[in-house]
Amino acid sequence: MFHVYKERLKLYLLAVLMAASIVQVGILWSYQYHGFPISFLQGFLRIRINMDTSSSKARENYLKPYQIFITDGEGYNFPDYYIVDAKNNNYDKLWKGAQACLEYVLREKKGEQVDTEEWYDLVDRKEDRSEKIFSRMGLAAVFAFRGNIDSNLVTWFLNISNTLAPDIGGIYKFAIAPEFDANYNSALYILEKDFSSGIEKVYRFIIEHGETKLINNLDLRTIYKSVSVEGSKNSFSAAGSLGNLGVPNDQLIVIPQRQFRRFDTLVCQVPKTLQIEGIKTLTERNRLGSKILGPDADTCDSIDIISGIKFQNANNIYHMYDNGLFAYEYKSLMPDNDRGYIDNAFVNALEFMHLRIDILTEPVDVYLSGVEILPGFYRFMFDYKVDGIPVIFNYEEEGKEPVNNAIIIEADEKRVLKASWIFKDFEVATGEKFYNVSFTDNQDRLHSAYSQLADAVIGDLLIAYEVRENSDNQELHPSWIVINQDRDYYMVPLVKK
């Protein structure tokens, strides 16, 4: 009997030792695989607490168009285009309906690749083309992202496991034309763009008259009437309607000179919880670490550095700078060149963000602005909008590439490898101002300021608030910003009335 009890005791001790070993390995594992939620046990069991990284939640939070515009093809000299912004009562309904249409054609329609001219014939409505693609030039709504969003990520967002669509690399813009032809068929177009080469591809999906319920539910005619009622103060023209202006033909511009529109003045600053001025003691550094380090808060050592604080444990290095820039880097002795699946990498990026997203406050809105597929990892870019106007950063560190995006996360399917995040709070200052938004006026000023733009290929043009390292507690006014094919930024402030 004593021998049986002795053997049971050995068995219990062995089980305790095995459990302790698993805990120890798990702790070391959590150091290696940054981004596991809350603790290693939750990561080991693949439990995510208070972190909804499902495709539906991610779609709601981050898959947002940079711009939506609509036209009925009519106008005095050129067709009028109207932007549907987030303040419009129909915005949410329109965007949700557009996603449903996109999901339907990707899931159910084979589609076909067509000539890029067909996209521009739909969008910029240039009148001097020798042949017209469409027998009816009616309504069209265009949904534009800031960058080309990889198609595998789009299908993950839309929860599509199988697609009949052709081999689409990504989606930069898509357009819905409910009045595609005289037979009352509708069409959905997808524009794919490689920004490094400028190469564009266009895909067309026909939705026949008998299956247009999703299109009809958009009620584009009603939405067009609601945005066009404001008249000229909210109207734009497509650049291609005027010929070759050196910018994309579907770029919306204001043609006449000295045209003024209203913009708010903003004031930005580093969130109070992340301000490091005056932090001197270990307790104060630990308090800051608890805000930004997530599960590594209890395992990192901290030291003061020039203009910031450095936190570090076995494999993770964090920097928090006094200008609001937060940087992370994973250190490993065994580099892994297998980036894996993009949806898994994106979930890792979301987990990294969700640990810190509550630091941001209204009226900041975060959206996915770009995706790059690079050797060994994916790069995800996110940016801010404030009351519908984009925010562009112009942070320049000596010896490093300028930081122009609010959030940049590099990840593979196992972990986050590197990240930068510029934390800012924004407030709308009292008093609105009017600024000149004329295309010709601002392009002339930009070319005078940057002679190298004379031969540049323009990839994008936007009006946005520019934030520099020393912008804290200063008023921010809108700027005219051009991005060339190499993704270099050129900016001049808009002129006030």
State pLDDT tens for residues 249-286.
888 888 888 889 999 999 999 999 999 888 888 888 98
| Assigned token pair, 437 | 């938004």
Helix (H, G, I), strand (E, B) or coil at 286: helix
Phi-psi region of 258 (alpha: psi -120 to 50; beta: other; left: phi over 0): left
Per-residue pLDDT for 171 more than 60?
yes
Does the residue 39 lie in any domain?
A: no
- Average of per-residue pLDDT across 418-442: 91
Residue 484 pLDDT level (bands cut at 50, 70, 90): confident
Per-residue pLDDT for 401 more than 70?
yes
Residues 403 and 448 in one domain: no
Residues 361 and 458 in one domain: no
- Alpha carbons 367 and 59: distance in angstroms, whole number: 10
* pTM listed for this prediction: 0.85
- Alpha carbons 131 and 44: distance in angstroms, whole number: 62
Residue 7 pLDDT level (bands cut at 50, 70, 90): low
CATH number, position 337: 3.30.310.160
| Assigned token pair, 306 | 């020039």
| Assigned token pair, 486 | 């190499």
- Average of per-residue pLDDT across 297-310: 90
Residues 231 and 364 in one domain: no
Measured in degrees and rounded to the nearest 5, phi and psi for residue 30 equal -65, -30
- Best mean pLDDT range from 124-133, 300-309, 311-320: 311-320
Measured in degrees and rounded to the nearest 5, phi and psi for residue 458 equal -85, 125
- Average of per-residue pLDDT across 314-336: 89
**Residues 6 or more apart from 46 whose CB is under 8 A from it?**
none
Does the residue 130 lie in any domain?
A: yes
Contact 140, 125 (CB under 8 A): no
- Give the 3-state secondary structure percentages of the chain, helix then strand then coil, rounded to 5: 30, 30, 35
Per-residue pLDDT for 72 more than 90?
no
Supply the pLDDT for residue 21. 59
The residue range of the domain holding 7 is 2-32
Does the residue 113 lie in any domain?
A: yes
Average pLDDT, the chain: 83
Instruction: Report the percent of the chain where pLDDT is more than 70.
Output: 84
Contact 394, 491 (CB under 8 A): yes
- Distance of alpha carbon 340 from the chain centroid: 21
Residue showing tokens 């010929």: 243
pLDDT tens digits, 74-105 = 765 677 889 998 888 889 999 999 999 999 99
Residue 324 pLDDT level (bands cut at 50, 70, 90): very high
- Alpha carbons 275 and 279: distance in angstroms, whole number: 8
- Average of per-residue pLDDT across 17-34: 50
Q: Which residues of 197-225 are buried (b: 16+ CB within 10 A; e: fewer)?
A: eeebbbbbbbbeeeebebbeebebeebbe
Residues 204 and 329 in one domain: no
Per-residue pLDDT for 319 more than 60?
yes
Relative to beta strand 458-468, strand 389-394 is parallel
pLDDT tens digits, 39-58 = 344 444 333 434 556 778 88
Residues 446 and 413 in one domain: no
Supply the pLDDT for residue 403. 87
Residues 114 and 242 in one domain: yes
223 residue type, one letter: I
Residue showing tokens 């520099």: 468
Supply the pLDDT for residue 174. 96
Contact 176, 220 (CB under 8 A): yes
Per-residue pLDDT for 23 more than 70?
no
Per-residue pLDDT for 25 more than 50?
no
Does the residue 53 lie in any domain?
A: no
Helix (H, G, I), strand (E, B) or coil at 209: helix
Q: Which of 188, 189, 186 is nearest to 212 (CA)?
A: 186
Contact 386, 362 (CB under 8 A): no
Does the residue 8 lie in any domain?
A: yes
List, edge to edge, every strand of the sheet that includes 266-269.
425-428, 266-269, 475-476
Residue 235 pLDDT level (bands cut at 50, 70, 90): confident
Does the residue 485 lie in any domain?
A: yes
Does the residue 364 lie in any domain?
A: yes
Residue 432 pLDDT level (bands cut at 50, 70, 90): confident
Supply the pLDDT for residue 10. 58
Q: Which of 263, 233, 259 is nearest to 433 (CA)?
A: 263
- Alpha carbons 237 and 240: distance in angstroms, whole number: 9
* Last residue within a domain, chosen from 390, 423, 456: 423
Residues 224 and 288 in one domain: no
* Last residue within a domain, chosen from 423, 450, 465: 423
- Alpha carbons 97 and 86: distance in angstroms, whole number: 15
Residues 419 and 432 in one domain: no
For helices 342-354 and 55-62, the axis angle rounded to 10 degrees is: 60
Residues 104 and 208 in one domain: yes
- Alpha carbons 352 and 466: distance in angstroms, whole number: 25
Burial of 349 (0-12, 13-18, 19+ CB in 10 A): buried
- Alpha carbons 349 and 290: distance in angstroms, whole number: 19
Residues forming beta bridges with residue 268, ordered by sequence position: 426
* Last residue within a domain, chosen from 423, 442, 473: 423
Does the residue 98 lie in any domain?
A: yes
- Average of per-residue pLDDT across 105-111: 91
Pick the range with the lowest mean pLDDT from 14-18, 213-217, 426-430. Answer: 14-18
Q: Number of folded domains in the chain?
A: 4
- Distance of alpha carbon 327 from the chain centroid: 19
Provide the terminal-to-terminal Cα distance of the chain, rounded to the nearest Å. Answer: 98
Helix (H, G, I), strand (E, B) or coil at 75: coil
Supply the pLDDT for residue 139. 87
Residues 278 and 414 in one domain: yes
Contact 276, 308 (CB under 8 A): yes
- Residue 408 host element (H or E): strand 407-411
Residues 404 and 466 in one domain: no
Supply the pLDDT for residue 50. 44
256 residue type, one letter: P
- Average of per-residue pLDDT across 314-338: 88
Rounded-to-10 torsion of CA 245, 247, 253, 258: -60
Residues 289 and 245 in one domain: no
Supply the pLDDT for residue 36. 42
Per-residue pLDDT for 2 more than 50?
no
